[in-house]
């Protein structure tokens, strides 16, 4: 331990407080230099693999990533201690639209535009940004102590992964699962790109409902009707109306179906059609139909053969078809159309109307349903395969309830628009044979899908070469300028990172499918489902094993800020993990986050004072780290230079009561903790270890061992006896064992601190790591439930004595005789065996244990007295007794017992209880009642003695 913060100071003692910053940096460097987390696919051991959800290179990480990192790292470190061959693979995501939006904003702020810059220069800038942001992110992940294999770090746009993207696209296309066509898509005018359904967020807004008069073209009907009234929230779209729909059974309009309307402002003749979609009860029961600008209208239009008339351009302005409104922005056009309708007498009324408006997640503007030629993935066949797998239990969701969310989304799934009119991303591997359509790309331009330009040329040559030459044209190819949805590459992550599509890739063979995916519920659709769908399409994967990319999916909640708000970049309320790491240490932050997570899958709230940069929760975890530091410090000062190895297993024959107790507790905690880690009960594991370490190890065991670790000489100047020295060795061995194993159990949660302390305690050489040790072996024989129960009574007895001393106001330095009276032989035996311990922990002058008969024979003394269970505790302190405090204490005992008697006897008096409850419950109840009654009687007796 060179330069260790744990290095002994000149006087040979560790500092009193733990300073995490240097220690953490040192171990991170040591682990990495040694390649501690760089697994060998050829090595033995059961494989365990996790690919981390790659953070977007959009800047830096916030606390949510810190939380996820803490969870994943705890899991993989535990599995490593279990002896598995663990791969934890890191990486980042290029985040196509997010990064491009961000960069365009930057460029705009500098007074430029991406189009001025050009595609190549823009991409250069994007790569520079990636370098910067990616570096920041990797630095942050390192500071958290993430035990990933940095040598296998991947980026979704790196050459290997890009090749995987192309391969996946080509294969999907070959299977007929990718198609290109003109459909109504969600168009984001801000990004200038199509986006998928998932990237659209509905927002409730206050808008208006405009009612317009649409005149019938022909003569008024028999009943004098010469127009219909339609209502719309989007007047500007009326320029593209190609019909009006009514419900087929609506008697008001039945006679009008088939007639035509003259569209105001435009003059187009449009039919009145009958369609089930119309709700006769809403508004007037008449709906204007704009198939090119609304998904529902698109559906109505296609059922009735209505033409599609697009009146808006991709930039959100009205196009030439919009006539006098051409060139107006869509929101200006709305006002202008309303004004024109009003001027021409077609506006009937305007009502305020609250409705949902689709917004683009990234662009933060309303999306426009627009007709556009795009690439799509046919989703249903892939979803069906996933649903079938789910019926077979794959993957397993933790907590279980998320399975339903996943399944529901896979049911009634819509096709996935995967093309984006962006630059930053994977270029679509399709080449248009533009020589066929006069050098331009149109919907009609034929294309070939290929792995590269050369393959494209071969394919195009085969398909169009001859005909082309015959027509005297030179074959001319142009790659599709668009890129793929960022989630297309993320969807391949669990296998593209392992070497797919190379079927012989060692990592793929060894670690696919991965063991568990740990992620937030907010990307179950975006990511989890896309991974399972794409994996299903790409099988076989790996060595022909299961195709589902992960066995388990652990879904965690979101980290919310101190005001219970979701952290987000736009809200500016993200909490940066680094300042908290600087202040409290990465281990403290990790522990604090994981400890909060017990209610599986629930969001967690991190308290944080922005003004001071402090967090009480993290501070509590830091204090825990310091507690462990000091416990180890104590051990180093008291083990006489020995180590857990040199001390060996303590001789069972020489173990004292407290030794057997803590060893039994250790064994139980060891089992519980392993079970919790293995089943993703990480919060429970953290809480359990916190309580065990602080209460049972530090507050009780260390305090109890002190007496034996530092034996007083029998007489002045005389060396301790051989017996005492032997016991000292036992005490040392117990302390060393408990601490050493505790550090292993804590390691997944607090890797740096445990590594540091373990080295200090064991003297392990530098190149040896706790991170690569084994989980301590199970020792069944150490478990002793009866002993644990009776030791709990001893603890309770000590507490009562301490309480009496506090009530009476005894000074800490002041000794007092302690007298226990009990009729229960087992309890008396434990108290006698533990009398030396009691002496130490209660400042007893003497400890006497009597049975009631013997006690009755003694002269009654004025004493501090309390009763617990079947035990009377007396501190005979003639003259020093605060009688009032003592009476209050006894009265409290009586009140407590009385309340219990009332409850228990009431229950026992109920004949149904005695008759129907299990006999052991009834017996327990009776025993408790007897005890409470005895307790009340004893306390009353004591009270009477006081006079």
Partner RNA sequence: GCCCGAUUAGCUCAGCGGUAGAGCGCCUGCCUUACAAGCAGGAUGUCGCUGGUUCGAAACCGGCAUCGGGCACCA
- Interface with RNA in residues 320-359 (CB under 7 A): 355-356
Could you say which residues in the range 596-615 bind RNA, by CB under 7 A?
A: 596, 598-599, 602-605, 607
CB 517 to RNA: min, Å = 19
String of contacts with RNA for each residue 544-583, x by CB under 7 A: --------------------x-x-----------------
Toward RNA, which CB reaches closer, 672 or 779? 672
Binding flag, residue 620, RNA (CB under 7 A): yes
CA 204, 207, 208, 214 torsion-angle sign: negative
Nearer to RNA, 285 or 513 (CB): 285
- Closest approach of RNA to the CB of residue 124, in Å: 35
List the interface residues with RNA, window 379-408 (CB under 7 A).
401, 404-405, 408
Residue 739 in contact with RNA, rule: CB under 7 A:
no
Please state, in angstroms and rounded to a whole number, the distance separating the CA atoms of residues 383 and 413. Answer: 7
Q: Does 532 bind RNA (CB under 7 A)?
A: no
Nearer to RNA among residue 48 and residue 634 (C-beta): 634
CB of 409 to RNA, least distance (A): 7
- Least Cβ distance, residue 723 to RNA (angstroms): 23
Region 201-220 residues binding RNA, contact defined as CB under 7 A? 202
Q: Which of 622, 676, 737, 752 binds RNA (CB under 7 A)?
A: 622
φ/ψ of 822, rounded to 5, equals: -150, 145
Q: Give residue for tokens 């995501």.
A: 93
The rounded Cα 532 to chain-centroid distance in angstroms is 19
* Maximum C-alpha span of the chain: 127
Here the tokens at position 162 are 């890009």
Sign of the dihedral through C-alpha 367, 369, 370, 373: positive
Please, which residue, 498 or 904, has the CB nearer to RNA? 904
Task: Tell me the C-alpha distance between 135 and 37, whole Å.
Answer: 20
Contacts of 167 (CB under 8 A, 6+ apart): 451, 501
Q: How far is the CB of 11 from RNA (least distance, A)?
A: 11
Among 772, 916, 923, 930, binds RNA (CB under 7 A): 916
Helix, strand, coil percent values for the chain (each to nearest 5): 50, 20, 35
Among 57, 72, 185, 198, binds RNA (CB under 7 A): 198
The CA-based dihedral angle spanning residues 388, 393, 395, 400, taken in that order and rounded to the nearest 10 degrees: 120
Among 630, 839, 898, 905, binds RNA (CB under 7 A): 630
Q: Which is nearer to RNA, 277 or 469 (CB)?
A: 277
Which whole-number Å values give the CA distances from 874 to 69, 848, 851, 878, 930, in the listed order?
Answer: 54, 10, 13, 12, 21
Which C-beta is closer to RNA: that of 430 or that of 689?
689
Among 40, 132, 279, 344, binds RNA (CB under 7 A): 279
Indicate whether 910 belongs to the interface with RNA (CB under 7 A).
yes
For the CB of residue 181, give the shortest distance to RNA in the complex, in Å. 20
Buried b (16+ CB within 10 A) or exposed e, 667-677: bbbbebbbebb
Q: Count of H helices and E strands in the chain?
A: 32, 29
CB nearer to RNA: pick between 183 and 694: 694
Residues 810-829 that bind RNA (CB under 7 A): 812
């059922």: which residue's tokens?
303
Identity of the residue, 161 or 745, whose beta carbon is nearer to RNA in the bound complex: 745
Q: Kindly indicate which of the ranges 106-114, 169-177, 619-627, 825-833 contains the residues binding RNA, using the contact rule CB under 7 A.
A: 619-627
Report the C-alpha gap between 501 and 492 in whole angstroms: 10
CA within 13 Å, CB half, 502: 12
The residues in 481-520 that bind RNA, with binding defined as CB under 7 A, are: none
* Residue-wise burial string across 763-796, b where 16 or more C-beta atoms lie within 10 A, e elsewhere: ebeeeebbbebebbeeeeebbbeebeebbebbbe
Q: What are phi and psi of 209, to 5 degrees?
A: -120, 110
* Least gap, CB of 35 to RNA (angstroms): 31
Q: Helices 577-584 and 63-81, interaxial angle, to 10°?
A: 60
The token pair at 381 is: 């066949």
Nearer to RNA by C-beta: 158 or 380? 380
Q: How far is CA 180 from CA 88, 485, 520, 573, 904, in A?
A: 37, 14, 32, 41, 76
The torsion defined by the Cα of 28, 29, 34 and 39, in degrees rounded to 10, comes to 40
The reply on whether position 854 binds RNA by CB under 7 A is no
Cβ-contact 76, 88 below 8 angstroms:
yes
Does 645 bind RNA (CB under 7 A)? Our answer is no
Asked if 691 touches RNA (CB under 7 A), the answer is: yes
Work out how close the CB of 883 gets to RNA at its nearest, in angstroms, rounded to a whole number. 18
Q: Which residues pair with 289 in a beta bridge?
A: 243
Segment 403-442, which members bind RNA (CB under 7 A)?
Answer: 404-405, 408-409
29 binds RNA (CB under 7 A): no
> Shortest gap between Cβ of 529 and RNA (angstroms)?
11
Number of residues in contact with RNA under rule CB under 7 A: 87
Closest by CA position to 261, among listed 309, 214, 211: 214
Are the C-beta atoms of 140 and 578 separated by less than 8 Å?
yes
Closest CA to 163 of 584, 451, 463, 460: 451
Interacting positions 85-144 with RNA (CB under 7 A):
none
Q: Which stretch binds RNA (CB under 7 A): 17-25, 68-76, 327-335, 567-575?
A: 17-25
Mapped onto helix, strand or coil, the DSSP state of residue 374 is strand
Q: Which of 125, 779, 928, 941 binds RNA (CB under 7 A)?
A: 928
State which of positions 703-732 bind RNA (CB under 7 A): 703, 706
Q: What angle do CA 664, 670, 674 make, to 5 degrees?
A: 155
Segment near RNA (CB under 7 A), from 46-54, 226-234, 369-377, 667-675? 226-234
| Residues 456, 445 contacting (CB under 8 angstroms) | no
Among 432, 511, 634, 677, binds RNA (CB under 7 A): 634
Q: Which is nearer to RNA, 495 or 584 (CB)?
A: 584
Q: How far is the CB of 566 from RNA (least distance, A)?
A: 7
Q: Interface residues for RNA in 862-901 (CB under 7 A)? A: 900
Sheet of strand 514-520: strand arrangement? 396-398, 550-556, 514-520
Distance CA 764, CA 741 (A): 14
Of the pair 214, 547, the CB lying nearest RNA is at 214
What is the number of other CB atoms lying within 10 angstroms of the CB of residue 255?
A: 12
Q: Does 912 bind RNA (CB under 7 A)?
A: yes
Considering the complex, what minimum distance in angstroms separates the CB of residue 89 from RNA? 28
CA distance 502 to 496: 9
- Min. distance of Cβ 396 from RNA in angstroms? 17
Segment lying near RNA (by CB under 7 A), choices 139-147, 230-238, 543-551, 766-774: 230-238
Based on the shown chain and the rule CB under 7 A, indicate whether residue 672 belongs to the binding site for RNA: no
Q: Which of 799, 824, 832, 862 binds RNA (CB under 7 A)?
A: 799
Does the protein bind RNA through residue 702 (CB under 7 A)? yes
Is position 277 an interface residue for RNA (rule: CB under 7 A)?
yes
CB closer to RNA out of 765 and 812: 812
Structure tokens at 947: 């006079």
- Identify whether the C-beta of residue 662 lies closer than 8 Å to the C-beta of residue 788: no
Q: At what angle do helices 657-678 and 63-81 cross, to 10 degrees?
A: 120
Site for RNA in 280-309 (CB under 7 A): 280-283, 285, 287-288, 295-296
Q: Which of residues 233, 342, 768, 898 is near RNA by CB under 7 A? A: 233
225 contacts RNA (rule: CB under 7 A): no
């Amino acid at each position: 331990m060179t330069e260790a913060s744990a290095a002994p100071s000149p006087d040979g003692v560790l500092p009193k407080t733990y300073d995490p910053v240097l220690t953490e940096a040192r171990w991170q460097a040591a682990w990495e230099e040694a390649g501690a987390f760089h697994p060998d696919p050829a090595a033995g051991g059961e494989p365990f693999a996790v690919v981390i959800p790659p953070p977007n290179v959009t800047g830096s990480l916030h606390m949510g990533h810190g939380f996820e990192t803490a969870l994943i790292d705890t899991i993989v470190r535990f599995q490593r201690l279990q002896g598995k061959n663990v791969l934890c693979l890191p990486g980042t995501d290029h985040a196509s639209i997010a990064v491009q939006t961000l960069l365009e904003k930057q460029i705009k702020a500098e007074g430029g535009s991406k189009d001025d810059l050009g595609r190549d220069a823009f991409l250069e800038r994007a790569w520079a940004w990636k370098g910067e942001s990616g570096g920041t992110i990797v630095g942050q992940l390192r500071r958290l102590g993430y035990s990933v294999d940095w040598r296998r770090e991947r980026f979704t746009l790196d050459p290997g992964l890009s090749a995987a993207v192309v391969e996946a696209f080509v294969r999907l296309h070959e299977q007929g699962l990718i198609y290109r066509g003109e459909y109504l898509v969600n168009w984001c005018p801000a990004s200038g790109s199509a986006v998928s359904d998932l990237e659209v967020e509905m927002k409730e807004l206050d808008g208006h409902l405009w009612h317009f008069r649409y005149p019938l073209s022909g003569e008024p009907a028999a009943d004098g009707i010469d127009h219909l009234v339609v209502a719309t929230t989007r007047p500007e779209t009326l320029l593209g109306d190609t019909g009006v729909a009514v419900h087929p059974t609506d008697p008001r309009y039945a006679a009008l179906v088939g007639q035509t309307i003259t569209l105001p402002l435009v003059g187009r003749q449009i039919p009145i059609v009958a369609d089930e979609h119309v709700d006769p009860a809403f508004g007037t029961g008449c709906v204007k139909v704009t198939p090119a600008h609304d998904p529902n209208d698109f559906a109505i239009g296609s059922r009735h053969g209505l033409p599609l008339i697009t009146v808006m351009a991709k930039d959100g302005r009205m196009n030439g078809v919009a006539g006098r409104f051409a060139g107006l922005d869509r929101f200006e056009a709305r006002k202008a159309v309303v004004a024109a309708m009003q001027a021409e007498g077609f506006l009937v009324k305007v009502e305020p109307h609250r409705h949902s408006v689709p917004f683009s997640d990234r662009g933060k503007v309303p999306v426009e349903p627009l007709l556009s030629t795009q690439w799509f993935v046919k989703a249903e066949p892939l979803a069906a395969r996933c649903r079938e797998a789910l019926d077979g239990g794959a993957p397993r969701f933790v907590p279980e309830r998320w399975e339903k969310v996943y399944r529901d989304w896979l049911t009634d799934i819509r096709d996935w628009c995967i093309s984006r009119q962006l630059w930053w991303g994977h270029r679509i591997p399709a080449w248009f044979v533009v020589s066929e359509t006069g050098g331009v790309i149109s919907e009609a331009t034929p294309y070939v899908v290929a792995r590269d330009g050369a393959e494209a040329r071969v394919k195009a040559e085969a398909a169009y070469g001859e005909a082309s030459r015959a027509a005297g044209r030179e074959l001319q190819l142009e790659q599709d300028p668009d890129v793929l949805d960022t989630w297309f590459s993320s969807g391949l992550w669990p296998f593209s990172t392992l070497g797919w599509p190379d079927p012989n890739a060692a990592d793929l063979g060894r670690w696919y499918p991965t063991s568990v995916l740990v992620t937030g519920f907010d990307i179950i659709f975006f990511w989890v489902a896309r991974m399972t769908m794409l994996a299903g399409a790409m099988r076989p994967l790996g060595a022909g094993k299961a195709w589902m990319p992960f066995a388990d999916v652990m879904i965690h909640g979101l980290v919310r800020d101190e005001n219970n708000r979701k952290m987000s970049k736009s809200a500016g309320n993200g909490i940066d993990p680094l300042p908290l790491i600087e202040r409290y240490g990465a281990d403290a932050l990790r522990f604090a986050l994981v400890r909060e997570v017990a209610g599986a899958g629930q969001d967690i709230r991190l308290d944080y004072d922005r003004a001071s940069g402090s967090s009480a929760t993290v501070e509590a975890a830091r204090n825990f780290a310091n507690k462990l530091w000091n416990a180890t410090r104590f051990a180093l000062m008291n083990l006489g230079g020995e180590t857990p190895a040199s001390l060996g297993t303590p001789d069972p024959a020489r173990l004292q009561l407290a030794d057997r107790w803590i060893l039994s507790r250790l064994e139980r905690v060891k089992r519980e903790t392993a079970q919790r880690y293995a089943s993703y009960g990480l919060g429970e594991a953290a809480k359990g270890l916190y309580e065990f370490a602080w209460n049972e190890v530090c507050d009780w065991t260390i305090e109890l061992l002190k007496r034996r670790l530092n034996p007083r000489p029998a007489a002045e100047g005389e060396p301790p006896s051989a017996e005492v020295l032997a016991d000292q060795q036992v005490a040392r061995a117990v302390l060393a064992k408990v601490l050493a194993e505790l550090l292993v159990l804590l390691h997944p949660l607090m890797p740096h601190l445990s590594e540091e302390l373990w080295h200090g305690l064991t003297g392990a050489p530098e190149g040896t790591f706790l991170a690569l040790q084994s989980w301590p072996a199970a020792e069944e024989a150490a478990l002793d439930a009866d002993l644990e129960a009776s030791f709990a009574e001893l603890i309770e007895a000590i507490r009562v004595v301490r309480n009496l001393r506090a009530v009476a106001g005894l000074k800490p330095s002041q000794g007092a005789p302690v007298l226990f009276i009990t009729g229960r032989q087992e309890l008396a035996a434990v108290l006698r065996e533990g009398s030396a311990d009691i002496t130490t922990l209660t400042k007893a002058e003497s400890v006497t244990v009597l049975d009631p008969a013997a006690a009755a024979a003694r002269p009654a003394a004025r004493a501090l007295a309390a009763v617990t269970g079947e035990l009377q505790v007396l501190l005979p302190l003639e003259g020093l007794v605060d009688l009032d405090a003592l009476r209050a204490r006894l009265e409290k005992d009586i009140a407590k017992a009385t309340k219990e008697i009332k409850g228990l006897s009431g229950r026992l008096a109920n004949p149904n209880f005695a008759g129907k409850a299990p006999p052991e419950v009834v017996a327990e109840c009776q025993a408790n009642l007897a005890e409470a009654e005895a307790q009340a009687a004893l306390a009353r007796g004591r009270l009477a003695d006081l006079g």
